Chains A and B, each alone.
Chain A
């Protein structure tokens, strides 16, 4: 269970990290929190020839609200989010919920949000929440820095829009308005296991109580996290009701394409996806003071 040998390069600036990645291309992987990469290397599922360690790049450890976006640097830890002074505000409830169920509390001391997005595990939590939040990832490439919407960023299992020699510098989550709440619902056999199923939802209301915007996404329901566009379309413009929640949950269940494994059958996981979306919508609306 010892990883294959690799060359270790410690970057001291983002420019240096980028130069190393440009130099080594597909041979190289970025080492951020390492909480997925290092176990994968130990199982020899990953055998990068070069690791570029970005943990010394303190200028990428930021976690700050810049006007309309929450900017999360490439080495901001999951535990930084849990402890952020604003995290208790209702508008951040989806991100708050998520930050408390990623892996386990010790893994979250090292694990990073951006690393999780780049890893793009089919059962990832941050990828799912990023979809429901309509986040974007800031990627540096040869042609400069570009902002990639999360729907384009998540390409396939363990594959993202970060190309050879490129580097994700950070993620941007839009700051939700006051009348927004969310919920992250996850079923796992034990803390730290892969999700059997999980759902991220976020809802914004108009002053008249109708739904202005909705984000609904599922984890462990496809090659990577999936947006349930049908549920979002059903919700927007409507007044929340039990029937509406039921319809959105059914859409999620239909959209879910899970793999059968020891955690459950396809049928069970599809059912669970609907249950979790219904619970999530109920909780988000309850947080907004409306009917659940």
Chain B
């Protein structure tokens, strides 16, 4: 089945089997391997991508054919012109990762969270990230990273990405 969708601003036209999951489409057809497959059963959140700029979705629980005509943002699309997105900078500064496997999903879930709530409380952040598992950090520094990014993005001078 022929589908066309936009990934990080680039249009992809591909012929796929309907059973192709979006996570695998992104990795194998688009070469965007920043989207990780963790549990493969929509429990861990490693495969989260952002649909149409505001909705975080688990790409292992969505077929690529469902993304026809939609825009997908993956971790590769976060940095602009070599400058890290405020969330990426926050994870860097606050040591929000160790092995890094969950990080793309954490970043994109946080991206959508901040779209809906620019000033989340710590509880909001913890609740918002409760569908994303990290086995290294104990979450403390992930929460700090998102708090830092939220602060930066609230600055009037911040460039909306």
Contacts and interface: CB of A to CB of B under 8 A. Distances in A.
Interface of A: 1-8, 10, 31, 34-35, 38-39, 41-43, 51, 53, 55, 79, 83, 100, 103-107, 109-110, 191-192
Contact of A38 (B17, B42, B130): B42
B56 A106 contact: yes
B131 A7 contact: no
Contacts of B17: 5
B87 to A, nearest CB: 16
Closest 9 A/B residue pairs (Cβ): A104-B131, A8-B18, A106-B131, A191-B130, A3-B19, A38-B61, A109-B55, A1-B40, A106-B56
B41 A2 contact: no
A6 B18 contact: yes
A53 B66 contact: yes
B61 to A, nearest CB: 5
Interface string B37-56: 00011110100100100011
A8 B63 contact: yes
A161 B46 CA distance: 36
A4 B127 contact: no
A3 B60 CA distance: 11
A192 B17 CA distance: 29
Interface of B: 1, 17-19, 21, 40-43, 45, 48, 51, 55-58, 60-63, 65-66, 68, 109, 112, 116, 127-132
A39 B41 contact: yes
Nearest to A110: B57
Contacts of B128: 105
B61 A8 contact: no
Contacts of B57: 106, 109-110
A3 B41 CA distance: 12
10 contacts: A1-B40, A5-B17, A5-B19, A7-B18, A10-B65, A34-B66, A38-B62, A106-B109, A109-B112, A192-B131
B45 A106 contact: yes
A107 B57 CA distance: 7
Given A7-B18, A8-B18, A38 B55 contact: no
Nearest to B130: A191
Nearest to A50: B18
B131 A103 contact: yes
A41 B21 CA distance: 11
B130 A105 contact: yes
A268 to B, nearest CB: 24
Contacts of A7: 18
